[in-house]
Structure 1
Amino acid sequence: MAYAKQIVIKGDQRQYVLSDDIKKYTLRDLGFTESKNGKFQLERSLEPNAPFNAGFKFKLAITADLKTFKMLITSANGLNEVNIYKSADAQLHIEQLNYILGQLEQRHVLQQLD
């Protein structure tokens, strides 16, 4: 998946953009790691009961200039994009995803388009 200014997670209806108020120190506070080329990456498990077990992962990567990003849900190995809305435990995973997205919106990293 290429970096974009506007993204919809597979299976979801909501569109997200990066907030105009995004700051690098906020990304570091939220647990993003910064790569050698300046990109910020966040990876979180969507398993609410056992976050260290293999399960779906939420991944967010932001370019160094804070203009474009990638956001997706992957399988446990991180190689395949998946649609959690069609999984067996969809409600648990969706609830965890909504929590993560809510935190990112509260801290002015992401903004949901109407």
Structure 2
Amino acid sequence: MAYTNSVQLKGDDVTYKLSPNIKKYSLRDTGFQESKNGRFQLERSLDPSSPHNNSFLLKITVKADLQNFKMATTTENGLQEVNIFKHKNADVYTEQLNYILKDLIERDVLVKG
């Protein structure tokens, strides 16, 4: 998956972009970890009962220049992209996904595009 300026999750009809007001401290405040090469990475479990259970993940990586990013819902090991919208428990996973994305939008990290 390549870095782009807008991302649409597999199975979703909404496109997300990085906010033009994004700041590095906003990324850190929302749980992103800065890697040695300057990229910011966030992994969040989509299991609403416990963030430690093996479940689907939301993975977001922002390039160091804060211009491009990639975002995907993946299996619990993070290696394979999945469509949570077609899962038998889609309502549970999408509710948690929407909660996380809403927080990132409110904190000026993402915008709907």
TM-score where L is the length of structure 2 = 0.98
Equivalent position of 2:30 in the other structure: 30
Q: Which consecutive unaligned segments of at least 5 residues does structure 2 have?
A: none
Quick one: which amino acid aligns to residue 44 of structure 1?
Answer: R
Distance 1:51 1:105 in 2: 21
Distance 2:87 2:75 in 1: 11
* Deviation string, structure 1 residues 64-103 (Cα, Å, up to 9, x no partner): 0000000000001110000000111100000000000000
Distance 1:108 1:50 in 2: 26
Distance 1:87 1:50 in 2: 19
1:2 Cα offset (Å): 0.4
- Map 1:69-84 → 2, pairs under 5 A: 69-84=69-84
Distance 1:36 1:51 in 2: 25
Structure 1 stretches (4+) deviating beyond 3 angstroms? none
Distance 1:39 1:49 in 2: 29
Distance 1:12 1:75 in 2: 17
Quick one: which amino acid aligns to residue 36 of structure 1?
Answer: K
How many correspondences in the alignment?
113
What CA RMSD, in Å, does the superposition of the two structures yield over aligned residues? 0.5
Q: Does 1:2 align with 2:2?
A: yes
1:50 Cα offset (Å): 2.3
TM-score where L is the length of structure 1 = 0.97
Q: Which consecutive unaligned segments of at least 5 residues does structure 1 have?
A: none
Equivalent position of 2:55 in the other structure: 55
Quick one: which amino acid aligns to residue 53 of structure 2?
Answer: N
Q: Percent identity?
A: 55
Equivalent position of 2:18 in the other structure: 18
